[in-house]
């Protein structure tokens, strides 16, 4: 097989999806599978749908287009506020989009009228993450304005947590968000079809013992793909954390003396300090680097240590016996490493675990356990 490559076990992604769908269902919450980390890869998206996801969501229009071109016909939602320059394409490829700006919603309405469509609008509310969103006190007014527009239909509201701030939502924040849904329904009249409470960081809240209120949707990517809760990094009990494996080839192995110490100026003490590199003398070099993935997001093989990396090399200290040139080294990835590797043009994507899916194609296309019961 070609290297570097990322091996994807579709059956594990399907089973991860089944697990969260089964656990959230009794709480009245459906799952929207988020495909942005895998660049809208159609086979991975289909595994989510096969596992019970009600629809798909992505932040990039090109990924939504890729899903459509592969023949996926389910509901596809654009979860990043559309660009004015792309409103026609948004209406063409996505039934629904998340929005915060009236000017963009008006442009989507005009584009939908031109295409003889009605485009769904979900209003994103700022609930404390500090990224995008309408301030809570302004949401009802914006919702009323959307209700007056032809070409668009108000479908619901959404919130986002733990992306910019890194903080999981609190029970009080979620209660306030549910209160907004009640307020908008009271002001605008119609029942909100979608009340999307957040992303993978919301799972502990969603599966807690308290009531989940109006929330009936979570947008899940990292949890399904990697089987972890994003804020803590804990493995979720019963879910697979190894659906993705990054494989690199060894291009050099040799025992080398430790590099000479380097004298650097410590700006905090205004004096020279001696910095030594790794003491490991046996090392291997892999044909993969910063241009291919997020190196700090890789889990090193047992007994090995990361010495350093450049744009196209990874240098790893390794115990004897040294691996042979041409042998392969396998890595598990965190979310950032996965996202970069799937977008890298020189990393092959190989699909495993479900023979109904198409064969490999290019990607342009300490663990704790968190028990969720």
How many whole angstroms separate alpha carbon 158 and alpha carbon 37? Answer: 20
Beta strands in 140-215 (DSSP E): 152-159, 194-196
- Residue where a domain stops, chosen among 298, 313, 333: 333
The label of the residue with tokens 């089944």 reads 18
Q: Quote helix, strand, coil % in the chain, to nearest 5.
A: 30, 25, 40
- Residue where a domain stops, chosen among 179, 203, 231: 231
Please indicate, yes or no, whether residues 14 and 76 belong to a single structural domain of this protein: yes
pLDDT of 108 above 70: yes
Q: For residue 318, give both structure tokens.
A: 């390794």
How many whole angstroms separate alpha carbon 283 and alpha carbon 304? Answer: 9
Each residue of 180-235: pLDDT tens digit? 999 998 888 877 999 999 888 888 889 888 888 899 999 999 999 999 988 888 88
The label of the residue with tokens 């490991």 reads 280
Beta strands in 15-67 (DSSP E): 30-34, 55-58
Does a structural domain hold residue 216?
yes
Burial of 299 (0-12, 13-18, 19+ CB in 10 A): middle
Please indicate, yes or no, whether residues 50 and 184 belong to a single structural domain of this protein: yes
Each residue of 227-276: pLDDT tens digit? 998 888 888 889 999 999 999 999 998 766 665 555 555 555 555 444 44
Q: For residue 57, give both structure tokens.
A: 């969501």
Distances (CA, A) of 23 to 30, 56, 200, 213, 237: 10, 19, 14, 16, 12
Q: How many domains does the chain have?
A: 2
- Among the listed residues 219, 174, 211, the one whose alpha carbon sits nearest the alpha carbon of residue 27: 211
Q: For residue 279, give both structure tokens.
A: 């003491």
pTM of the model: 0.87
How many whole angstroms separate alpha carbon 316 and alpha carbon 300? Answer: 8
Domain that holds residue 322: 244-333
Does a structural domain hold residue 363?
no
Q: For residue 261, give both structure tokens.
A: 């110490």
Q: Quick one: average pLDDT of 27-33?
A: 96
Is the Cβ–Cβ distance between 184 and 148 less than 8 Å? no
Please indicate, yes or no, whether residues 144 and 262 belong to a single structural domain of this protein: no
Residue 203's CATH number: 3.20.20.10
Please indicate, yes or no, whether residues 118 and 227 belong to a single structural domain of this protein: yes
How many whole angstroms separate alpha carbon 78 and alpha carbon 211? Answer: 28
State which H helix or E strand residue 183 sits in: helix 171-188
Considering the chain, what percentage of its residues have pLDDT values greater than 90? 67
Please indicate, yes or no, whether residues 251 and 204 belong to a single structural domain of this protein: no
Please indicate, yes or no, whether residues 282 and 181 belong to a single structural domain of this protein: no
Q: Residue 358: pLDDT band by 50, 70, 90 thresholds?
A: very low
Does a structural domain hold residue 63?
yes
Q: Residue 366: pLDDT band by 50, 70, 90 thresholds?
A: very low
Does a structural domain hold residue 305?
yes
Please indicate, yes or no, whether residues 285 and 326 belong to a single structural domain of this protein: yes
Please indicate, yes or no, whether residues 133 and 94 belong to a single structural domain of this protein: yes
pLDDT of residue 278: 46
How many whole angstroms separate alpha carbon 335 and alpha carbon 352? Answer: 20
pLDDT of 112 above 60: yes
How many whole angstroms separate alpha carbon 12 and alpha carbon 106? Answer: 41
């Amino acid at each position: 097989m070609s290297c570097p490559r990322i091996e994807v076990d579709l059956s594990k992604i399907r089973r991860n999806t089944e697990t969260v769908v089964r656990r959230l269902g009794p709480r009245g919450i459906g799952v929207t599978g988020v495909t942005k980390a895998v660049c809208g890869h159609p086979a991975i998206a289909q595994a989510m749908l096969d596992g019970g996801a009600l629809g798909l969501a992505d932040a990039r229009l090109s990924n939504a287009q890729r899903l459509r071109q592969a023949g996926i016909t389910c509901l596809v939602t654009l979860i990043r506020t559309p660009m004015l320059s792309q409103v026609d394409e948004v209406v063409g490829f996505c039934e629904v989009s998340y929005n915060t700006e009236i000017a963009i919603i008006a442009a989507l309405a005009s584009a939908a009228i031109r295409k003889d469509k009605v485009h769904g609008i979900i209003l994103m509310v700022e609930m404390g993450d500090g990224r995008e969103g309408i301030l809570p006190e302004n949401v009802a007014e914006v919702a009323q304005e959307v209700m007056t527009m032809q070409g668009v239909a108000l479908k619901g509201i959404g919130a986002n947590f733990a992306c910019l701030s890194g903080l999981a939502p609190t029970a009080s924040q979620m209660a306030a968000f549910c209160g907004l849904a009640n307020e908008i329904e009271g002001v605008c009249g119609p029942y909100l079809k979608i009340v999307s409470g957040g992303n993978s960081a919301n799972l502990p809240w969603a599966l807690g013992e308290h009531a989940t209120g109006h929330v009936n949707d979570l947008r899940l990517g990292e949890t399904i793909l990697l089987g972890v809760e994003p804020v803590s990094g804990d493995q979720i009990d019963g879910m697979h954390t190894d659906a993705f494996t990054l494989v690199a080839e060894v291009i050099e192995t040799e025992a080398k003396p430790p590099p000479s110490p380097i004298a650097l100026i410590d700006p905090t003490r205004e004096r020279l300090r001696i910095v030594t590199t790794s003491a490991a003398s046996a090392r291997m070099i892999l044909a993969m680097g910063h241009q291919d993935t997020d190196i700090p997001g890789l889990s090193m093989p047992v007994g090995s240590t990361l010495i350093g990396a450049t744009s196209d090399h990874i240098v790893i200290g390794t115990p004897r016996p040294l691996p042979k040139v041409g042998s392969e080294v396998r890595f598990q990835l965190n979310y950032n490493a996965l996202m970069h590797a799937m977008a890298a043009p020189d990393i092959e994507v190989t699909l495993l675990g479900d023979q109904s899916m198409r064969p490999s194609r290019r990607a342009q296309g300490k663990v704790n356990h968190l028990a969720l019961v």
